[in-house]
Amino acid sequence: MFPGKPVSHSEAVAPMAAGARLEAMRRRVRVSRLAVWTVIAAGPIALGVTLTSTPTTVEAASSTKPTAAPTTTVAADPAGYAQLFLHTWLRSSTKDEASAQARHAQSMAPGVDLPETAAGAQPAPQVVTAVRTAQRAYGVWSVTVAVQYANASVLHYAVPVATDRTGASLTVTGAPGVVAGPARTEVPTSPYQVSVPEGDLSAAVGEFLAAYLTGAGEVDRYLAPGVKLLPVSPVPYRAVTVRQISAVEEAAAAVTVPADGTKARVLAQVEARGEDGRWPLAYEFTLAARSGRWEITALGTGAATAGGAR
């Protein structure tokens, strides 16, 4: 029999402390069970109060259900709807209410009478175009539509249109009314006040337009790096002549090409000739100086894309 090993005071205390903690845990479990059974015996109301008063920490689980993207409702512009209705309505007649035109007009405007055309009346319209849209109230619109006839006369009609909240449903709410056309506004002062003489810039513009409109050469050689612009196809003209170039910046009129990065906005007035005659045209350009030459970075309002200075 081996002699017993002496036990230190700390070694003796550790099991006692562990036992005390275990006994305390057991007492808490027994008390909790007793409380639950007591509440159950007291009734469901007491149980609800107990559960509510007991502090509970719950970690919110991340939802795996995708969240729907928010939608934005944009007010509909009924110009096209009014234009289509008027085109159909003007070609309809009470004398032929069963025609496709008449049925279509009545489906777009329930309750609106059809016109009654007389023998030898003005022919059907050639061009019908919406020229102005005004919102009178939420979902209530008035669209002014211009109608041109074969004899070059033009009449303007105001067409009332209603839309739903989403803009998916539209209805013409009343008969069209003949109105005066939009007044002509004053022409704003042109920003192109600098006259550009013949030189590197005018040559670049003229040669580019020849390639762009007549197929004479490649357009890419006149464009800044990264700018992409396709020529007009099919080729519409045989020759293009630059009549005048005006600029916003004085740098465009310099005798020599300015420093790299210098920009110029210009307006080119040109004359294009083709099989069908002579046509006066105008083009706006933005050019930039690079390596002793002018390069085109933009044509008109964003026709040149995919890089380059704008």
* Tokens 């030459």, residue located: 293
7 class by beta-carbon count within 10 Å (0-12 exposed, 13-18 middle, 19+ buried): exposed
Going by the DSSP 8-state scheme, the letter that residue 188 receives in this structure is P
Q: Are residues 90 and 170 in the same domain?
A: yes
Task: Kindly state the average pLDDT of the residues 129-151.
Answer: 93
| Closest by CA position to 207, among listed 198, 216, 199 | 216
pLDDT above 50 for 286: yes
Q: E-strand spans in 217-276?
A: 239-247, 263-274
Cβ neighbours of 152 (radius 10 Å)? 7
Considering the domain boundaries, does residue 260 fall inside one? yes
In this structure, what token pair is assigned to residue 263? Answer: 């920009």
Asked if residues 207 and 292 have their Cβ atoms less than 8 Å apart, the reply is no
Let me know: does 255 contact 234? Beta carbons within 8 Å: no
pLDDT at 45 over 70: no
The more confidently predicted of residues 17 and 57 is 17
Q: Where residue 46 falls among pLDDT bands split at 50, 70, 90?
A: very low
The enclosing H or E element of 274 equals strand 263-274
Sequence length of the chain is 310
Residues 135 and 212 placed together within one structural domain of the fold: no
Q: Is pLDDT at 237 greater than 80 in this prediction?
A: yes
| Closest listed residue to residue 128, CA positions, set 158, 168, 156 | 156
Q: What's the whole-model pTM score?
A: 0.63
How many CB atoms within 10 Å of residue 88?
Answer: 20
Q: Mean pLDDT, to the nearest integer, of 89-104?
A: 91
Q: How confident is the model at residue 65 (pLDDT cuts 50, 70, 90)?
A: low
Residue 277 lies in a domain: yes
Q: Do 112 and 174 meet the contact criterion of CB atoms below 8 Å apart?
A: yes
Res 51 pLDDT > 90:
no
Q: Over pLDDT 70: what percentage of the chain?
A: 71
Same domain, 107 and 170: yes
| Domain match, 103 and 141 both | yes
Across 41-55, 198-212, 254-268, least confident range: 41-55
Per-residue pLDDT at 255 exceeds 80: yes
Flag whether 3 is in a domain: no
Residues 128 and 203 placed together within one structural domain of the fold: no
Asked if residue 200 and residue 175 are part of one domain, the reply reads: no
Q: What CA–CA distance (Å, rounded) separates 91 from 111?
A: 17
Q: In the predicted model, is pLDDT for residue 75 greater than 70?
A: no
What CATH number has the domain bearing residue 130?
3.10.450.540
What digits encode the pLDDT tens for the residues 143-157? 999 999 988 899 999
> pLDDT tens across 155-170, in order?
999 999 999 888 789 9
Lowest-confidence pick of 89-98, 156-165, 276-285: 89-98
Q: Which are the contacts of 206, defined by CB distance < 8 A and separation ≥ 6? A: 240, 241, 242, 268
* In-domain check, residue 184: no
- 238 in a structural domain: yes
Find how far residue 307's CA is from the centre of its chain. 21
Let me know whether 170 and 210 are in one domain: no
Structure tokens given for 284: 């706006």
Q: 163 and 225 share a domain?
A: no
Q: What is the DSSP string of 49-114?
A: HHHHHS----PPPPP-SPPPPP-------THHHHHHHHHHHHT--GGGTTSHHHHHHHHHSTTPPP
| The predicted structure's pLDDT at residue 203 | 96
Q: Which domain holds residue 134?
A: 79-114+124-179
How many other C-beta atoms lie within 10 A of the C-beta of residue 15? Answer: 9
185 token code pair: 């506004």
Q: Which of 107, 67, 64, 69 is nearest to 85 (CA)?
A: 107
pLDDT at 122 over 70: no
Residue 84 in domain: yes
Identify whether residues 201 and 295 lie together within a single domain. Answer: yes
Q: What is the pLDDT of residue 301?
A: 53
166 plus 85 within the same structural domain:
yes
**How many domains does the chain fold into?**
2
Say yes or no: 207 and 160 in one domain.
no
For residue 217, tell me if it sits in a domain.
Answer: yes
- Asked if residue 135 and residue 232 are part of one domain, the reply reads no
Distance, CA of 12 to CA of 86 (rounded, Å): 104
d(CA 172, CA 177): 12
Whether 204 maps to a domain, the answer reads yes
